[in-house]
Amino acid sequence: MKVNIYYGGRGLLEDPTLYVINKMEQVLVELQVEVTLYNIYEQKNQISMLPQTLKDADGIILATTVEWLGIGGYMNQFLDACWLYADKTSLATTYMQPVVMSTTYGEREAMVSLENAWAILGGLPCAGFCGYVEDLKEFRENAEYAHIIEKKVEALYRTISQHTKGLPTSNQAVTRSISRTAQLELSPQESEQLSRFVSDDEYVQTQKADIADLTSMFRDMMGQKQEDSTNEYINDFKIHFRGNKDFTAKYLFMIDGKTQPLFVYANGEQLECRYGREDNIDVYMKLSAAIMDNIVASRETFQRAFSVGDMTAKGNFKTLRMLDEIFPFSD
């Protein structure tokens, strides 16, 4: 018989879970069980590979500590990796005993979370145990507590050796129906290979760079280049410009979805309009592309958009009001 212990705490000396799993390991060895301990915090960069260690185990112990809320990040990451990369056929015959020690409130809820997670993964939950530890020294020296731990380990041993079955649960139904669509349809070999790739940071970064290059290439092929180099809105402003020889102003439009602002410079009867940043602006405006579309289509005016909050502005508001006069889009 082989049992793996997965410890999801931080490895602190005062962590009561370390004492508990050390005691459990001693009992299992006395029962002639092959035991392997995995400290997840020591393999935090290889967590995606850990589910592959489940394949040869008859049973496992998921042990963690509640320090402030829930089962903690390392155990969560390990269970996520099991969902993505573990061999579900192998999990279906693997018993799991949850062990949760707490230095604060919430050990029962954390134990239930582990039981539910394993059931949804398709594994076989085994009766676990949890406890609150206020004084670690007192907890370790209490013979009754040690006896309880021993009995729980013996119960795990009997459950595995006798292949004890349980009644169906709703979590198993979820696994068969709703959750099925969230999984990748991969063979165990493909899942193992994928988990190796995911754990390889250099490979992941290379893939991200390749994806970015492909995305850029397809955007160019489909004519989806950045709109900063196009004449969108520029022709509309030029066509409807009605300059005033006594009026000069610089406007800057920050339009959602544009990486560069639209610069409009009314210099008497001359107009400069382009995409790009500029200094010494009289009025800064921010609006969505939809509102700008409505304005150039004469369904809206700058003043009305500002009044109802569809456009925000900063600067000289008298200069802002002049926009509708020098750009009468309704003409």
Q: Which helix (H) or strand (E) holds 140?
A: helix 136-141
Answer whether residue 315 is part of any domain: yes
Predicted pLDDT at 165: 82
* Residue range(s) defining the domain that contains residue 287: 229-326
Contacts of 74 (CB under 8 A, 6+ apart): 8, 9, 10, 40, 41, 44, 47, 64
Lowest mean pLDDT among 87-91, 92-96, 286-290: 87-91
CATH label of the domain that carries residue 108: 3.40.50.360
For 265, list phi and psi in degrees, rounded to 5: -120, 105
- Nearest alpha carbon to residue 90 among 47, 57, 135: 57
Pair (142, 61) in one structural domain: yes
Domain count across the chain: 2
Domain boundary among 127, 156, 183: 183
* DSSP line for 278-327: -SS-SEEEEE-HHHHHHHHTTSS-HHHHHHTTSEEEEE-HHHHHTHHHH-
CA 247 to chain centre: 53
Question: Is the distance from CB of 62 to CB of 52 less than 8 angstroms?
Answer: no
- Burial string for 10-39 (b: 16+ CB within 10 Å, else e) reads beeeebbbbbbbebbbebbeebebebeeeb
248 and 179 together in one domain: no
Residue 102, helix vs strand vs coil:
strand
pLDDT band at 44 (very low <50, low <70, confident <90, very high): confident
Reply yes or no on whether the pLDDT at 185 is more than 60: no
Provide the percentage of residues in the chain whose pLDDT is more than 90: 64
Predicted pLDDT of residue 164? 87
Half-sphere exposure (CA, 13 Å, Cβ side) for 33? 27
Q: pLDDT tens across 216-235, in order?
A: 666 666 555 444 446 789 99
Q: Is the pLDDT of residue 331 over 90?
A: no
Whether 114 and 262 map to the same domain: the answer is: no
234 with 290, same domain: the answer is yes
> Is residue 208 included in any domain, yes or no?
no
Same domain? 178 vs 40: yes
Q: Does the residue 112 lie in any domain?
A: yes
Judged by DSSP in three states, 271 sits in strand
Mean pLDDT over 136-151 rounds to 95
The CATH number of the domain where 308 resides is what? 3.30.1050.10
